[in-house]
Amino acid sequence: MENYNEENRYNRAKKKVDKIKGFYTHAIVYVVVNIMLLSMIYTGYANVTEFWNLGSFSTAIGWGIGLLVHGISVFGRGLFFSSNWEEQKMKQFLNEEEQNNHKWE
C-alpha cells in the first residue's frame, strides 16, 4: 500500500511539472512565431506608420490572451522560477502530498 501511495504522489507531481513544461513550450512558440509574423508584416508595408495598426497585431493579441489563460491555469498566483525549477517543483509537490496525507492520521 505504501508503494502505491508513493507512486501516486510521484505521478501527480510529474503531471504538474509536465503542465509547467507545456506552458514554457507554448510561450517559446508564441514568441518565435509572432516575431516571424510581425517581421513579415513589417516588411510588407512601404510606410512604417501603416504597420502600427490593430490588424498587424491581432494574432499576437489573440494568442497572447490564450497564453495568459494557459499561464493562469498552470501557475495560478505563484509565478516564481529558478534555474532548477523542475527539480524544485517535483520536491514541492511531493512534500505537499506527504503533508496532506499525514493530516488525517
- Structural domain for 15, as ranges: 2-102
The overall pTM is greater than 0.75: no
d(CA 12, CA 18): 10
Instruction: Sort 39 into a burial class: Cβ within 10 Å, 0-12 / 13-18 / 19+.
Output: exposed
d(CA 12, CA 10): 6
Question: pLDDT tens digits, residue range 32-84?
Answer: 999 999 998 888 877 778 888 888 899 999 999 999 999 988 887 555 555 56
Number of domains in the chain: 1
Cα–Cα distance list, 61 to 39, 65, 99 (Å): 16, 6, 41
